[in-house]
Amino acid sequence: MDTAVIIVAAGRGSRVGGALPKQWQMLAGKPVLAHTLAAFAGMSVVLVIHPEDRPMAETLGVRLVEGGATRDASVLAGLRALAGTGATRVLIHDGARPLVSRVLVDRLLQALEDHPGAAPALAVTDALWRGNAGLVSGTVDRAGLYRAQTPQAFRFDAILAAHLAHPGGALDDVEVARAAGLDVAIVEGEENNLKLTYPGDFARAEAVLKGQSMDVRMGNGYDVHAFCEGDHVWLCGVKVPHGKGLLGHSDADVGMHALTDAIYGALAEGDIGRHFPPSDPQWKGAASHIFLGHAIGLATARGYRLANCDVTLVCERPKIGPHALAMQTELARIMGVETDRVSVKATTSERLGFTGREEGIAALATATLVKT
């Protein structure tokens, strides 16, 4: 063993309210401590608990130690439990900080290469006042002031000796370490590493967890079809009169094909050809809404919704502007989304290239999917 973790969770946390201590209350469907432990997955953890909480704690699958009447007494109990295990470094963390990141943990361990202790903190940026009877009674210079966080990291033998020598009553382990003459490096903390203290903190933590779990995917699509004999073209599900048609195995709806490929791309599902091979005669002349419907259906089945999409048609003619709204509406209908999530626009290539020579139409599309 090299690095061990002590999570202190023996307090009662009465300020947050509720029937249970805050570390056992539910946060995003799980106890707060379950989130805290997840941040240290794969590491050797000692969870310091109140004796009354043992039945709940035994469901978490980590080593349990009963704490003392004060925080520093609980930390010492955890340190004693780790003595002789081979731990050379220890992270001491508050159980009510469920949003610590592994990046922060790595920064702390790196700082221990040069210092006997390291702790995360955020510089105070707000003005500080003193108050008396509800009135401002003075100000405090904020220069050099920091908001302390956990986990606080130490070389194991040094912090164990410091706790054994301390008389008790320390606010945190940095205070204990400094009383023993240990240097503690300040490591940049994280705003999201908040401590659950008041009821409103749970709402903040829920919002952070929701953001961390958001799965956003983006895909791009591109397609080209050449002009051929005909009197109309299909573009984004709309039949547009024109002096030519578009050549293709299906109805050659270049805009819808590009959008379909964008959705497949966001899902890492290849392109239309993978799902509807042009070698298969059943798809000859098929309406392209079949392909788009399949793509959006696949996204829905995998738990994604379309956040937005953008289709750009590149051609000299036909003019897209008069039909853009109808195209937007039809694509939205096929995909079952609001029209304001669908964009259809057009541009020319300034008479350059095959589109400039009016040999065909190109289309580009982007689709963004969000896990629901």
Residues 6+ apart with CB under 8 A from 144: none
Four-CA torsion 324, 326, 332, 333, nearest 10 degrees:
-160
- Are both 336 and 293 inside the same structural domain? yes
Which pLDDT does position 12 carry in this prediction? 83
CA distances, 317 to each of 236, 237, 299, 320 (Å): 15, 17, 33, 8
Domain boundary residue, one of 213, 241, 264: 213
- Same domain for 179 and 42: yes
Q: Are residues 72 and 205 in the same domain?
A: yes
Q: Contact 258/221 with Cβ under 8 angstroms?
A: yes
Residues 55 and 152 in one domain: yes
Residue 369 Cα distances to 219, 286, 302, 308, angstroms: 8, 26, 11, 7
The CA distance from 79 to 88, in Å, is: 11
Do residue 195 and residue 221 come from a single domain? no
pLDDT tens digit at each of 372 positions of the chain: 599 999 999 998 767 777 789 999 999 899 999 999 999 988 999 999 999 999 999 999 999 999 999 999 999 999 999 999 999 999 999 999 999 999 999 999 999 999 999 999 999 999 999 999 999 999 999 999 999 999 999 999 999 999 999 999 999 999 999 999 999 999 999 999 999 999 999 999 988 887 766 689 999 999 999 999 999 999 999 999 999 999 998 899 999 999 999 999 999 999 999 999 988 888 888 999 999 999 999 999 988 999 999 999 999 999 999 999 999 999 999 999 999 999 999 999 999 999 999 999 999 999 999 987
∠ CA 121-20-57 to the nearest 5 degrees?
A: 80
Sheet strand arrangement including 304-314: 245-246, 216-228, 360-371, 304-314, 342-347
State the SS3 of 94-140.
ECCCCCCCHHHHHHHHHHCCCCCEEEEEEECCCCEEEEECCEEEEEE
CA distances from 305 to 69, 261, 302, 341, 370 (A): 50, 16, 9, 11, 5
Query: Which conformational region is residue 237 in: left (phi greater than 0), alpha (psi within -120 to 50 degrees), or beta?
Result: left
- In this structure, the answer to whether residues 26 and 109 fall within a common structural domain is yes
Indicate if 184 and 233 belong to the same structural domain: no
Q: Note the pLDDT of residue 144.
A: 95
Eight-class DSSP state of 198: S
Domain of 288 in residue numbering reads as 216-371
Residues 26 and 159 in one domain: yes
Residues 261 and 131 in one domain: no
Hey, what long-range contacts does 160-166 have (CB within 8 A, 24 or more apart)? 160/79, 160/80, 160/83, 163/72, 163/75, 163/76, 163/79, 164/76, 166/72
Phi–psi pair at 6, nearest 5 degrees:
-110, 120
**pLDDT for the residue numbered 213:** 61
As for how many domains the chain has, the answer is: 2
Last residue within a domain, chosen from 213, 247, 280: 213
Residue by residue, DSSP assigns 355-371 as HHTTSEEEEEEEEEEEE
The answer on 236 and 142 residing in a single domain is no
Say yes or no: 163 and 90 in one domain.
yes
CATH assignment of the domain containing 229 = 3.30.1330.50
Residues 144 and 167 occupy one common structural domain: yes
Last residue of a domain, one of 185, 213, 241: 213
> pTM score, two decimals?
0.63
CATH number of the structural domain spanning residue 74? 3.90.550.10
